[in-house]
Amino acid sequence: MPGTVIVGAQWGDEGKGKIVDLLAQNSDIVCRYQGGPNAGHTIVVGSETYKIRALPSGIVRGKPCVIGNGCVVDPEVLIAELDEFEIRGCSTEQVYVSGNAHLIMPWHLAIDQASERRLGKLAIGTTKRGIGPCYADKAMRLGIRVQDILDPKILRQKIEVALAEKNLWLTRVYESEPFDLEAVAAQYEGYAQRLRPYVADTSLYVETALRDGKDVLFEGAQATLLDLDHGTYPFVTSSNPVAAQAAVGLGIGPQRIDRVLGVSKAYVTRVGEGPFPSEIEGDEQARMRELGGEYGTVTGRERRCGWLDLVALRYAVRVNGIDELALTKLDVLSHFTELPVCVRYRTPDGRETPDFPAHQSDFHAAAPVFETLSGWNEPLDACSSVDDLPAAARDYVDFVERELGVGVSLVGTGAERTSVLSR
Ligand code: IMP
C-alpha cells in the first residue's frame, strides 16, 4: 500500500512511534503532517532508547524523513535532535522540512506558559511548547514560516512585525517580560544557518515519490481525541491529528491515502485535563500507571489511566476511516484478573449509547457501562504471533474486533522493537 496513515486512536501516547518504526522497515519515506515538539515518540532498539520529538520516527531506520507544511517547528528542538542523531551515527542528510511549516518563536512558549497560568483551574494542561500560540499566529497570518529563514532580511523583518504586537501582549496582558528584537533576530539567524540545507518543497517530493509507486508512511502526532475539530475541545491540541489531515499537512491529494492504521493501547491513558469516562478509580489506577510506565515522554507528567473505551475507539474508527488497528501494550493487562471494557456510555437521562456523544455536556456527564472480560495472568513474552496468545488474551482482541467491526492486525506485547505480534 503506497500511502499509509498511522493515527493515534485515543488521547495520544498509544505507541505510534513503535508501529511506525516497524512499518518503516518496508517503507521508502516517513512523513509527519501536523504537530510539533509536543509529541514524544519512544523507540527502544536493544540497549538504545530513542526519544523523538520533532523528527519522524523513520529516522531511526535511516529512512528519508519529511516534516510537512502542517507541522510547527521549534528550531532549537529540531537542531538538538539532528545533532543527536548525527552523533549516534544516523545520517540526517535525507531530512526534508517544508518551507511552509511554521516556526515556533520564543513568544509562543512565553504565551503558552502565561496563558495556562492565567487560566488557573481552567487550564488546558498543555505541554507548554508554544504549540497553540504558534498555530494561532498561523491562522492570524502573523506567523513566521520555515522558508523565512532562507533570507536574513526577510527573517528579521518578520520578527520585527510580529514582535511589535507580541511585546504589547506580553507586557500589557500577561505582565511578562518583552523580547528584544536584536537578540531574537541573532538567535534565529544562528538557527537558520544550521537548518537552511533541510528546507525543501516537500509537497513535490512526497507526491513524486507516491507517483513513482514508493511506499510512504504518514505519521500522526497526538491523536484523534486531541484533534482541534474532532477531539474533546477545548482539551485538545491546536492541530488536526486525524487521518485526512495527512493530505492537507503534506500537500497531496486525499486519494493518495490508501490505508489508515489506527493505533490504540489495550487500555487508555490521557495527560492533561478534561473528561475521561473510563478512568480507573482508586489504587488500581496507580498500579496501571506503574505497570505501564505511564509518564509523559515530553513533560514527565503522570498519565491518567483508564480501561479500554470502545465508545471512544468506535468514534476514532469513524472520524479517521480506520481500516485496521494496532493494539499496543497488551502485556500490561497480564497483571489484572478482570478486565472491564467500556462498551457504552450512560447519559444523565438514563439512556445507553454505543456512540460518542456529539454534545460536550453529554460527554462530560457520560458514565461508562463496562463489560468485564477475563484476564490471562501470564506473561506474553514467549508469544510469536497473535494466534500464540493465551486464550483469554485472544478473546480480548477478538472482542475488540467484533465490537468495532475492524481487524486488529498488530498487537504490542512489550517495549522492545521486536515485541509486536502480527496476525
Ligand atoms: P499542546 O499540544 O501542548 O497545546 O497541549 C494540548 C493538549 O494536548 C494537552 O492536554 C496535552 O497534554 C495534549 N498533548 C499534546 N501532545 C501530546 C502527546 O504527544 N501525547 C499526549 N498528549 C499530548
Q: Please compute the mean of the pLDDT values over residues 52-78 and round it to a whole number.
A: 96
* Cα-to-centroid distance, 128 and ligand 1 (Å): 9
**CA dist., res. 271 & res. 82, Å (int):** 27
Residues of the chain with CATH 3.90.170.10: 264-422
Q: How confident is the model at residue 216 (pLDDT cuts 50, 70, 90)?
A: very high
The residue contributing the CA closest to ligand 1 atom 21 is 12
Q: What's the mean pLDDT in 124-136?
A: 96
Give the model confidence (pLDDT) of 281-340 as tens digits: 989 999 999 999 999 877 788 999 999 999 999 999 999 999 999 999 999 999 999 999
Check pocket membership of 39 for ligand 1, CB cut-off 6 A: yes
Return the minimum-mean-pLDDT range out of 16-20, 93-97, 147-151.
16-20
Ligand 1 binding pocket mutation candidate from 71, 271, 295 (most atoms within 8 A of CB): 271
Q: CB–CB of 332/292 below 8 Å?
A: yes
Confidence band for 261, pLDDT divided at 50, 70 and 90:
very high
Whether ligand 1 lies within 6 angstroms of the CB of 124 is answered as yes
Q: Is the pLDDT of residue 6 over 80?
A: yes
What atom in ligand 1 is closest to the CA of residue 274? 10
pLDDT at 48 over 90: no
HSE (CB half, 13 Å, CA atoms) of 281?
4
pLDDT interval class at 42 (50, 70, 90): confident
What cell does 251 get? Answer: 500537500
The band of 274, judged by pLDDT with boundaries at 50, 70 and 90, is confident
Mutate to test the pocket of ligand 1, among 126, 134, 228 (most ligand atoms within 8 A of CB): 126
3-99+198-260 classified as CATH 3.40.440.10: yes
Convert the pLDDT of each residue in 217-257 to its tens digit.
999 999 999 999 999 999 999 999 999 999 999 999 999 99
* pLDDT greater at residue 18 or residue 102: 102
Cell readout for 65 is 524523513
**pLDDT higher than 90, residue 53:** yes
Q: What is the pLDDT of residue 390?
A: 97
Q: Are 301 and 334 in contact (CB under 8 A)?
A: no
Region(s) of the chain under CATH 1.10.300.10: 102-195
Mean pLDDT of the region 371-391: 95
Using the structure block, give the residue that is written with the C-alpha cell 497553540: 132
Residue 41: pLDDT over 90: no
Superfamily assignment of 264-422 in CATH?
A: Adenylosuccinate Synthetase, subunit A, domain 3 (3.90.170.10)
Listed range (70-74, 392-396, 419-423) with the worst mean pLDDT: 419-423
CA–centroid distance, residue 270 to ligand 1 (Å): 9
The residue whose CB lies within 8 Å of the most ligand 1 atoms, and thus the one to mutate among 11, 32, 38, 294, is: 38
Å from CA of 237 to ligand 1 middle = 6
Mapping DSSP onto H, E and C, the string for the chain reads CCEEEEEECCCCCCCHHHHHHHHHCCCCEEEECCECCCCCEEEEECCEEEEECCCCHHHHHCCCEEECCCEEECHHHHHHHHHHHHHCCCCCCCEEEECCCEECCHHHHHHHHHHHHHHHHHCCCCCCCCHHHHHHHHHHCCCCEHHHHHCHHHHHHHHHHHHHHHHHHHHHHCCCCCCCHHHHHHHHHHHHHHHHHHEECHHHHHHHHHHCCCCEEEECCCCHHHCCCCCCCCCCCCCCCCCCHHHHCCCCCHHHCCEEEEEEECCEEECCCCCCCCECCCHHHHHHHHHHCCECCCCCCECEEECCEHHHHHHHHHHHCCCEEEEECHHHHHHCCEEEEEEEEECCCCCEECCCCCCHHHHHHCEEEEEEEECCCCCCCCCCCHHHCCHHHHHHHHHHHHHHCCEEEEEECCCECCCEEEC
Distance, in Å, from the CA atom of 135 to the CA atom of 241, rounded to the nearest integer, reads 13
State the distance from the centre of ligand 1 to the C-alpha of 373, rounded, in angstroms. 31
Encode pLDDT of 156-168 as tens digits. 999 999 999 999 9
Predicted local distance difference test score (pLDDT) of residue 392: 98
Q: Is the pLDDT of residue 188 over 80?
A: yes
| Domain limits, CATH 3.40.440.10, in the chain | 3-99+198-260
How far apart are the C-alpha atoms of 170 and 158, rounded to whole Å? 18
Question: Could you tell me if the CB of 131 is within 6 A of ligand 1?
Answer: yes
Residue 225's pLDDT is: 97
Share of the chain above pLDDT 90, in %: 90
Supply the pTM of this predicted model. 0.95
Give residue 303's pLDDT. 95
The answer to whether the CB of 127 is under 6 A from ligand 1 is yes
pLDDT of residue 344: 98
pLDDT score at 39: 82
Catalytic residues: 13, 41
405 near 421, Cβ under 8 Å?
A: no
If you average pLDDT over every residue of the chain, what do you get? 95
The number of C-alpha atoms within 13 Å of 212 and in the hemisphere containing its C-beta is: 10
CATH number belonging to the domain at 102-195, selected among 1.25.10.10, 1.10.10.10, 1.10.300.10, 3.30.70.260: 1.10.300.10
Assess whether the C-beta atom of 226 lies below 6 angstroms from ligand 1: yes
Three cell numbers written together for 402: 467484533
